[in-house]
Amino acid sequence: MKIIPIILLVLLLSSCSGQEKKDTLTPKKNNVMTEKSVMIEKFDFDIYNKTHNGSEEYTLPNGNTVYLMDFDKNGGFQYERLPSPSFYTVYKEFYANGNIKKKETFIGSHVKVRTSYYYDRDGGLVKQVDEDQKFGKIKPLQVLEFLQEKGYIDLKTGKGRVDEDGMQVFWLDFNIMERKKIWTIGIVKGRSNDGPANFPDIGEPSAYIPICYYMDGETGKISETSPLQECREMGI
């Protein structure tokens, strides 16, 4: 009658021993994560020199195109255009010691999207912000779809990010005014400028005048087209 308890005890000890071996062989993820070194992003002076102080474009290994960068005694900055058909732009700012200071992603040059990252002088992350939380039901994609419907861009090919001269095709802003979320959509070359009232007193008149739209950030409704002067006040 004592044989059965002894067998059970042997099986129990064998099971515990096997579990100890299994635990020993299994990597401890927490330790791996803490021991893994984090590379601090720095201003790339090699690219800066190759592009003649940032005056030429340069394609990075990740496919992003650096189209503007500069550095002086106070620090530097860098603009990257994501690969087509993306309409996003990444802005990076650097401390005087070359370490990254901030990294922000934009759509239309003015509206922050995705996640923004902010660092101390030693490259340590001190803050990150989920920029997409501020939007209402109308997200950046819906705004781009509106521009596509108007024929200014093509979401499949990326056409319309810049024009043939490398200039902006559209301009975006997002604000909360009187508790309402509003998108401002500006078309840089909205229509041909054939009205004498738009001609400057001095110099050549612009070949085009901008068009601006207001879009409700919750419904997507276009409430009005702003006058030319308002477009100019918004920097278009």
Sign of CA dihedral 211, 217, 79, 230: positive
Match 């409700």 to its residue by tokens.
Answer: 216
The whole-angstrom separation of Cα 65 and Cα 9 is 67
Number of H helices, E strands in the chain: 5, 11
How do strand 75-81 and strand 88-94 relate by DSSP bridges? antiparallel
Residue 173: closest CA among 128, 145, 134: 134
Mean pLDDT of 4-33: 44
pLDDT at residue 138 is higher than 80 = yes
What pTM did the predictor assign?
Answer: 0.76
Supply the pLDDT for residue 37.
Answer: 52
pLDDT at residue 232 is higher than 50 = yes
112 vs 209, more confident: 112
Supply the pLDDT for residue 163.
Answer: 86
Mean pLDDT of 155-181: 90
Contact (Cβ atoms closer than 8 angstroms) between residue 112 and residue 131: yes
Supply the pLDDT for residue 27.
Answer: 42
Contact (Cβ atoms closer than 8 angstroms) between residue 27 and residue 36: no
Model pLDDT for residues 189-226, shown as the tens digit of each residue: 877 777 665 665 566 666 777 888 999 999 999 986 65
Contact (Cβ atoms closer than 8 angstroms) between residue 103 and residue 91: yes
The proportion of the chain whose per-residue pLDDT surpasses 70, expressed as a percent, equals 73
Model pLDDT for residues 176-193, shown as the tens digit of each residue: 988 899 999 999 887 777
Residues 88-98, buried b or exposed e (16+ Cβ, 10 A)? bbbbbbbbeeb
pLDDT at residue 105 is higher than 70 = yes
pLDDT at residue 39 is higher than 50 = yes
Determine the Cα angle at 98 with ends 32 and 72, to 5°. 165
Contact (Cβ atoms closer than 8 angstroms) between residue 172 and residue 152: no
Q: Confidence class of residue 36 from pLDDT cuts 50, 70 and 90? A: very low
* Chain centre to alpha carbon of residue 166: 19
The proportion of the chain whose per-residue pLDDT surpasses 90, expressed as a percent, equals 60
Mean pLDDT of 49-71: 96
